[in-house]
């Protein structure tokens, strides 16, 4: 009977590990630094890969590119003598060093995600 308990506990632990999620705060950025809080994105594991669920506000309506960058800093940096917003984040996430910007459904880098849709009232809530 103990053996089945351990198996059940192991299965529950696996389920809990798969259900783990990371909540990432999101802010507007400019060449002067990190600005207004605009919400968060919850990153969770699914059997099909990572799911990014935005809960964002105060954005311009429309379809916008959505990316994961190499580094977890959105501080500005200097390029050619000019302050550039979020330059400290580095390039798009590319662990295989493909150097290819082919979108989320091709064989390029892994930093390209499907675009997010922002409603007329500035909200983005659709998971990708």
Mean pLDDT of the chain: 86
14 lies in some domain: no
123 lies in some domain: no
43 lies in some domain: yes
CATH number of the domain encompassing residue 101? 2.60.40.200
67 lies in some domain: yes
Number of H helices, E strands in the chain: 1, 7
Domain range for residue 53?
21-118
Between 30 and 5, the more confident residue is 30
pLDDT digits (tens, 9 = 90+) for 12-43: 344 444 558 999 999 999 999 999 999 999 99
9 lies in some domain: no
Question: Looking at the 3D structure of the chain, how many domains does it have?
Answer: 1
125 lies in some domain: no
DSSP per residue over 40-76, as a string? EEEEEEETTEEEEEEEE-S--SEEEEEE-BSSS----
Whole-structure pTM value: 0.78
């Amino acid at each position: 009977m103990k053996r089945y308990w351990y198996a059940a506990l192991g299965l529950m632990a696996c389920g809990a590990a798969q259900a783990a999620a990371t909540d990432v705060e999101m802010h507007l950025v400019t060449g002067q630094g990190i600005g207004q809080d605009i919400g968060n994105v919850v990153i969770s594991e699914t059997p099909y890969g990572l799911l990014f669920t935005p809960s964002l506000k105060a954005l311009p309506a429309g379809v916008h590119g959505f990316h994961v960058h190499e580094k977890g800093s959105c501080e500005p940096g200097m390029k050619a003598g000019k302050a550039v917003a979020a330059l400290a984040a580095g390039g798009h996430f590319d662990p295989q060093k493909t150097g290819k910007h082919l979108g989320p459904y091709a064989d390029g880098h892994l930093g390209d995600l499907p675009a997010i849709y922002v409603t007329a009232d500035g909200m983005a809530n659709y998971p990708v």
